[in-house]
Each structure stands twice: as structure tokens, then as C-alpha cells.
């Protein structure tokens, strides 16, 4: 594949980049970043609104809109088009900056075993064969051997700078992970049903597995910090947690002089796989192993789709730097409001099925937003529509939800 863009590809990318730069220069972006900094410091002017199309991008920007031929340039084109579309059509509170990110080219290795995935459709669900069958298999496990390809990373950066560097700020930037929750890896190695049984019948095996996974993540963090691979995620366009903007003046730490450390960053912990596990076993087999990881970071987000009703107290007790807490569609919103109060960000995720099903009930959506903001009155609330994997071809759904959420959120400005 030729890595040199054709004249047409170069012009397409540059024209899109110019539009991104134009949007990034608008005074509105500085205002959004200021609002997020206040919000993340638990001093909100109003509830904040975010909407992530995710799989629904296939309805909003199908592959047919792309004009570049080269797969790499097509991916860059899609990134730029999404940024423009988000601003022009979705109208949420995401700031737009002039950054254009190139990811580190990494090899994360394996644990000595890999699960075998079984699926019938590239976009469908899958099952898998977990490789760790007996305690004897633990002897075959090892921590991952991580490496970075600096030459290939620099090549990609130089290529992007050559095309876009006079328009956008091309930079090598993370993230190198999404969650450091451990339990997804655990169930891929051991199997979800088997992990549930092990809590009663073979707890020592689980403890050994979780110890290995914890030590592996700590080793990965040390490697990334030592090799200078970490990126600050406290800017206006930084996605943090299970959804949120990381803009804050609290990070990096006051002694930061360059060379990003974990203590200069936000981090996410979650355990969606332990959704049906009670508080005591959640602490014993998950949280206890997550804490040495989470407590290395400057600010902590916790939770994604799992309801945390019965686990808020544990999180608040054991994570001193906890700030953003997920309130999923299956969480009791009243308990969340009572426990989080104005001490933590109440990161509410409405049920995405409300805008992803065959029909949309907009009166229900309005009721859902108003009810939540009344329940969480006095809390630091963000409204985040995510996990939206189809809009049934209706491009207006996410825009209508966002416009509605923004209108109602503004009614709650100032308290």
C-alpha cells in the first residue's frame, strides 16, 4: 500500500482539517472548556450534556461518504468528518480543539494463553473458549511483554505533519488503554460462569489470577511511564472514564515538569462482569486488586454499565481520589443521588434503547431527563447518551435528544 497520498486525498484531508481548525478557533470552545473545568471541580454552572454515536456512526456517516482510497487516510478522513459532524449536527458540550492525534504503535503481548472467540457476524455478539481450565494452567501464565514501535509511530506522525501540520497540531497521544478494571481479562481467561462458581468452590485460583493481572497492569504502567508513552488527559478534548471530558486545572500535579506520570492523569476502573456479585465478594475478588492501580492516579472515575447501588459505599470508602461515578440505566437513581450528593460527579447514562429501537417516544425521553434532574437536584450531573449502536437510519434521533437535553439542562443552570 502506498503511504503517499494522492493529490485528491491530500486536498480532501486538508479541506476537512481547515474546517476543524475553524471550529476549534470559535470562542464557544473556550467557554465549553471553562464549563468543564468548573464542572470537574464540582462547581457546575449547569448539568453538562454529551452524546456519543458510537456504532450509530454507521447511520450518520456511512463508509460511502469517504472519498480517500488508502485505508489509513480513510481513517483520518473519518476522524475529521466525525469531529465536524459532532459540532455541526449533534450540538452537545464536547469541545473541539486543533489537536490531531497519532496513537503509539504498541504490542501488548499476551498472558501465555489466548481465548478462542466464536462469532457468526463481524458486528454481532460472540462467545469464547476460556483457556485456563485448571490450577495447573496458572504455571503457564505470565505477565505480558509490552513493546513500542517508535520508528513506525514516528513515520505515522511525520506523514500526518506533512499533510496537516500547518493546519492542526499533530501529536503522538494516548490513550494506551480504556479501563484498568481487570475483570474483563479475568473472564476471558477463565470464563464468566466459571468465575462465578470459583468464588465458592475455588477462591484461591481466582486470587492467584487476579494477583497476576494486577501485577501485570502495574508493570505495564511502570513501562509506559519509564518509556515516556503516557499522555496528559486533562485537556478540553480528552475523553475520560466511561464517558466524560477531562478538562481540569487540578492535573497535572503541581510538581509536574514534563514527563507524564500516572499521578498526573485520570483513570477508569469498572467491573461490568461482576454486575451480579454482592458487595463483599466484589471487594474480595475485584476492588481489592484494582485499588493499587487506581490509587496511583491523580483522579479516578469508576463504573460503566454496571449498577453500583450496593457498591457506592465501598468505592467512596476505599478510593480517596474518586471523582466521576457512573449512574447506569440499571442503577437506582435515588440511591445514587443520596450517596454521590455534591461530592462526586453523577455521570448519568440513560438507556440507549430509547433512541435505538424501531420507534422513539420523545415525550418519554423528556420525562426521563426531567425526572433524573429532579432526583439528582443538588448533584453534579452530566447527561451522557452512549452505547448507541444504531439509529435505524434516522439521523435526527441523537440530535433531537441532545437538543432536548441541552434545553432542559439550561433550565437547571445555577442550581
Residue 415: predicted pLDDT: 60
Please state the rounded mean pLDDT for residues 132-149.
94
Q: Is the pLDDT of residue 168 over 90?
A: yes
Give the span between the Cα atoms of 165 and 160, in whole angstroms: 7
Give the span between the Cα atoms of 11 and 119, in whole angstroms: 39
Q: What is the pLDDT of residues 330-370, one digit of tens each?
A: 999 999 999 999 999 999 999 999 999 999 999 999 999 99
Tell me how crowded residue 7 is: count the other CB atoms within 10 A of its CB.
7
For residue 344, is it left (φ>0), alpha (ψ between -120 and 50) or beta?
A: beta
Domain ranges of the chain: 7-411
Give the span between the Cα atoms of 362 and 76, in whole angstroms: 35
The pairing of beta strand 266-269 with beta strand 169-172: unpaired
Best CATH choice for the domain 7-411 from the list 3.20.20.210, 3.40.50.1820, 3.40.1390.10, 3.40.50.10680: 3.20.20.210
Upstream peptide bond of 18 is cis (omega within 30 degrees of 0): no
Residue 122: pLDDT band by 50, 70, 90 thresholds? confident
- Report the predicted TM-score, pTM, of the whole model to 2 decimal places: 0.96
Amino acid at each position: 500500500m502506498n503511504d503517499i497520498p494522492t493529490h485528491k486525498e491530500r486536498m480532501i484531508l486538508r479541506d476537512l482539517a481547515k474546517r476543524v481548525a475553524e471550529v476549534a478557533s470559535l470562542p464557544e470552545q473556550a467557554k465549553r472548556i471553562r464549563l468543564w473545568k468548573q464542572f470537574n471541580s464540582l462547581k457546575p454552572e449547569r448539568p453538562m450534556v454529551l452524546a456519543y454515536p458510537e456504532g450509530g456512526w454507521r447511520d450518520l456517516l456511512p463508509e460511502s461518504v469517504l472519498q480517500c482510497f488508502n485505508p489509513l487516510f480513510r481513517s483520518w478522513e473519518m476522524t475529521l468528518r466525525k469531529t465536524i459532524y459532532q459540532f455541526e449536527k449533534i450540538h452537545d458540550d464536547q469541545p473541539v480543539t486543533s489537536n490531531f492525534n497519532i496513537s503509539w504503535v504498541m504490542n501488548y503481548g499476551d498472558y501465555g494463553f489466548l481465548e478462542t472467540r466464536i462469532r457468526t457476524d463481524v458486528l454481532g455478539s460472540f462467545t469464547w473458549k476460556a483457556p485456563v481450565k485448571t490450577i495447573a494452567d496458572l504455571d503457564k501464565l505470565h505477565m505480558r511483554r509490552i513493546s513500542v514501535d517508535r520508528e513506525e509511530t514516528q513515520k505515522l506522525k511525520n506523514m500526518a505533519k506533512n499533510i496537516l501540520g500547518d493546519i492542526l497540531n499533530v501529536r503522538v497521544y494516548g490513550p494506551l488503554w480504556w479501563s484498568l478494571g481487570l475483570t474483563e481479562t479475568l473472564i476471558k481467561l477463565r470464563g464468566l460462569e466459571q468465575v462465578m462458581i470459583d468464588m465458592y468452590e475455588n477462591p484461591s485460583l481466582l486470587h492467584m489470577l487476579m494477583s497476576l493481572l494486577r501485577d501485570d497492569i502495574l508493570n505495564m504502567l511502570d513501562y509506559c511511564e519509564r518509556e515516556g508513552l503516557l499522555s496528559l488527559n486533562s485537556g478540553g478534548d480528552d475523553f475520560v472514564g466511561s464517558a466524560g471530558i477531562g478538562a481540569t486545572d487540578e492535573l497535572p500535579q503541581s510538581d509536574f515538569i514534563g514527563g507524564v506520570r500516572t499521578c498526573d492523569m485520570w483513570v477508569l476502573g469498572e467491573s461490568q462482569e461482576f454486575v451480579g456479585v454482592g458487595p463483599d465478594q466484589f471487594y474480595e475478588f475485584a476492588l481489592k486488586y484494582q485499588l493499587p492501580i487506581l490509587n496511583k492516579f491523580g483522579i479516578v472515575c469508576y463504573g460503566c454499565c454496571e449498577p453500583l447501588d450496593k457498591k457506592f459505599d465501598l468505592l467512596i470508602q476505599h478510593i480517596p481520589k474518586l471523582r466521576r461515578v457512573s449512574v447506569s440505566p440499571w442503577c437506582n437513581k435515588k440511591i445514587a443521588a443520596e450517596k454521590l450528593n455534591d461530592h462526586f460527579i453523577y455521570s448519568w447514562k440513560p438507556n440507549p434503547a430509547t433512541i435505538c429501537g424501531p420507534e422513539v417516544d420523545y415525550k418519554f425521553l423528556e420525562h426521563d431527563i426531567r425526572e433524573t434532574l429532579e432526583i439528582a437536584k443538588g448533584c453534579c450531573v452530566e447527561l451522557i447518551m452512549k452505547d448507541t449502536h444504531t439509529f435505524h437510519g434516522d439521523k435526527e434521533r441523537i440530535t433531537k435528544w441532545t437538543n432536548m437535553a441541552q434545553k432542559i439542562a439550561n433550565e437547571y443552570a445555577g442550581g
